[in-house]
Amino acid sequence: MRRDRTRLRPARLSLRDVLHVGSAGLRARPVRVVLSALGIAIGIATMIAVVGISSSSQAKLLRELDALGTNMLVVTPGQSMFSGQDTKLPEEAPGMIGRIEGVERVGATGAVAHSVRRSEKISPDETGGIAVLAARGDLLETLRAGVRSGAWLNAATGRYPAVVLGDVAARRLGITAPGRQVFIGGRYFTVTGILGPVPLAPEIERAALVGWSAAESLLGFDGHPTAVYERSADARVGAVRNLIPQTANPRSPQTVSVTDPSAALQAKAATEGAFSTLLLGLGGIALLVGGVGVANTMIISVLERRHEIGLRRSLGATKGAVRVQFVTESLLLSGLGGLAGIALGSAAVAAYAAAGGLPWVVPLWSVTGGFGATLVIGTLAGLYPAVRASRLSPTLALHAA
C-alpha cells in the first residue's frame, strides 16, 4: 500500500514581513542608525549640492544668453601689416556695415583722448580706469542694455555736454543718480543717465559715454569708430561675419577684426561644471566612507543579535530568510541616509540660489543616481554581515547567548 508523503516546505516571507523584520534592528537602536546614516547623508548631500549649484549657475548663464542673444558681432581695428602703425576704421564703417544683408541694427563707439574726473581740481592722470567714448544713439538698442536711472542720449542731448556713465564708471566716480556733473576735456558735462550691467560689452560699463556730435564739436573727436557693434538675423551671422572686413574697410580688409562677445559666455556655460569634478570625487569618497560605516554597524548588529538569529533558525527560519533580513536592514539604513542627503543637498542648492539670485536647479539624474548609489552601497555593505548571520549554527548561537 503506497503512502502519500507530503514534503514540508518552509513558509516564504511576504514583503511586509521582510520590511518588518528588517526594520526591527533599526527601531531598537535609533542613535546608532542616525550616526551610521550620517555618513551616507553627507556623501549624497555633497554630490547633490555640487551638481545642483553647477547646474543653477549654468542655467543663469543660459538665460542671460537667451536674453542677450548670440547674434552680435563686434568690429574693431585689427593688426597692421607694419609693426607700430595704428589702424583705424573708416568713418563710414557703421553705415556700410548696416547695409549688409541680414544686419538688423548697428551701434558704434569711438575713443576720445580725454579723462573724466569729478572736478577740475583732480589730476588728469587720475583716470580711475574710465574711458571716454563717443556713442551713436542706437548703441543701447544694439547692445540690448538698459538704463538703470535717468535717460539715454538722444538727438538733442547728443549735441550738448551731456554724459551717460557705465555701471562701473558711476561707482568709481561715486555718482549714484543723474544730475551730477563731471569734468571732461576742460568743461563740465551733466550726467543724464547711468547704465545697468552690459555683459556682452564690459568696456561700456567702465566708460563715460557722450554724444557723437558733442564729442566732435567739444572734445576734438576725429569721427573714426573704434568699435562697431552689429546684430544680424541668427541665420545670417556666419555670412555677415565673412562680409564685414571687406565692407567695413574695402581698402584694407585685413586690418579689420571681428569678434563674437557671446562666445565667452557660451564657453563659460559649457565648462561651468568642469571644476565640480574634484568636489564630486570628495562626495563619492564620503559616500564610500558612509558605506563602510553601514557595513561596520551591520557586523556589530550580527554579533549582538546571535541569540535572536539562533532562535529564528531553531523556529524554522532558513538561511535565505536570515540573509534577506540583514540585507533589508542594510538597505533601509542606507536608504534613510540617502533620503536625508537628498533633502540636505537640495536645501543647500536652494540657499545658494537664493543668495546669488540664481534659478534653483537640481537635475533629476543627480537625485535618482545618488539614491541608486546609496542602494547599491547598502546592498554591498549588508552582504557580508548577512552571509555571516545565515551561517551561524542555531545550537551554538543559543548556547553562546
CA–CA gap between residue 332 and residue 334 (Å, rounded): 5
Model pLDDT for residues 231-290, shown as the tens digit of each residue:
988 888 889 999 999 999 998 888 899 988 877 666 665 555 555 566 667 667 777 777
Amino acid at 57: S
CA distance 183 to 190: 9
Q: Which residues are within 8 A (CB) of 86 and not within 5 positions of it... i.e. 6 or more apart?
A: 77, 80
Local structure of residue 394 (DSSP, 8 states): H
Question: Which of 34, 49, 25, 45 minimizes the C-alpha distance to 336?
Answer: 34
56 membership: H or E segment, kind and range: helix 30-68
Total Cβ atoms within 10 A of residue 268: 14
Sign of CA pseudo-dihedral 74, 80, 86, 88: negative
**pLDDT of 105 strictly over 50:** yes
Cell of 189: 558735462
Give tens-digit pLDDT for 169-208.
999 999 999 999 999 999 999 999 999 998 888 899 999 9
Q: How confident is the model at residue 227 (pLDDT cuts 50, 70, 90)?
A: very high
Q: What is the pLDDT of residues 67-83, one digit of tens each?
A: 666 788 999 997 765 55
Q: Looking at the predicted structure, is the pLDDT value of residue 104 above 70? A: yes
Mean pLDDT over the full length of the chain: 82
Ordered by start, the domain boundaries in the chain are: 15-64+271-400, 71-259
Q: Which residue has the higher pLDDT, 151 or 312?
A: 151
Higher pLDDT, 142 or 317: 142
pLDDT tens figures, 345-371: 999 999 988 988 888 888 888 888 888
Report residue 13: phi and psi, to 5°: -80, 135
- Three-state secondary-structure class, residue 224: coil
